[in-house]
């Protein structure tokens, strides 16, 4: 981006590439959250995450080895 104080690397990876690698390795996804910043909007900082309630700052996923879970706890969703 033009005007950045420091350049940084950005590696775009679609979620299906990340998750499919885990699924092939025997993991299941059993938790997914996109928490938003609970703070009130901050007028003095336009870039604060609290100003963007529609855009979560992070995606949190919980993956577990399928072989370690009891079968009755799994719900299979066909793709």
Domain membership flag for residue 9: no
The pLDDT, as a whole number, for residue 74 is 61
The pLDDT, as a whole number, for residue 73 is 60
The pLDDT, as a whole number, for residue 4 is 74
The pLDDT, as a whole number, for residue 56 is 82
Total number of domains constituting the chain: 1
Domain membership flag for residue 2: no
DSSP single-letter state for residue 68 = G
Find residue 62's DSSP bridge partners.
Answer: 31
The pLDDT, as a whole number, for residue 71 is 62
Q: Are residues 58 and 35 in contact, defined by beta-carbon separation less than 8 angstroms? A: yes
pLDDT, block means (10 residues), the chain with 79 residues: 74 89 93 87 84 85 87 61
Domain hosting residue 53, numbered range: 15-73
Please name the residues in contact with 29: beta carbons below 8 A apart, sequence gap of 6 or more. Answer: 19, 22, 23, 61, 62, 63
Q: Are residues 27 and 63 in contact, defined by beta-carbon separation less than 8 angstroms? A: yes
pTM exceeds 0.75: no
The pLDDT, as a whole number, for residue 61 is 95
Domain membership flag for residue 3: no
Distance CA 54, CA 51 (A): 9
């Amino acid at each position: 981006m033009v005007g950045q104080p420091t350049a940084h690397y950005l590696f775009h990876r679609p979620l299906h590439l990340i998750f499919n690698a885990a699924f092939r390795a025997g993991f299941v996804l059993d938790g997914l959250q996109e928490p938003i910043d609970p703070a009130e909007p901050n007028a003095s900082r336009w870039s604060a995450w609290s100003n963007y309630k529609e855009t979560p700052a992070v995606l949190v996923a919980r993956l577990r080895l399928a072989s370690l879970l009891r079968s009755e706890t799994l719900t299979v969703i066909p793709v």
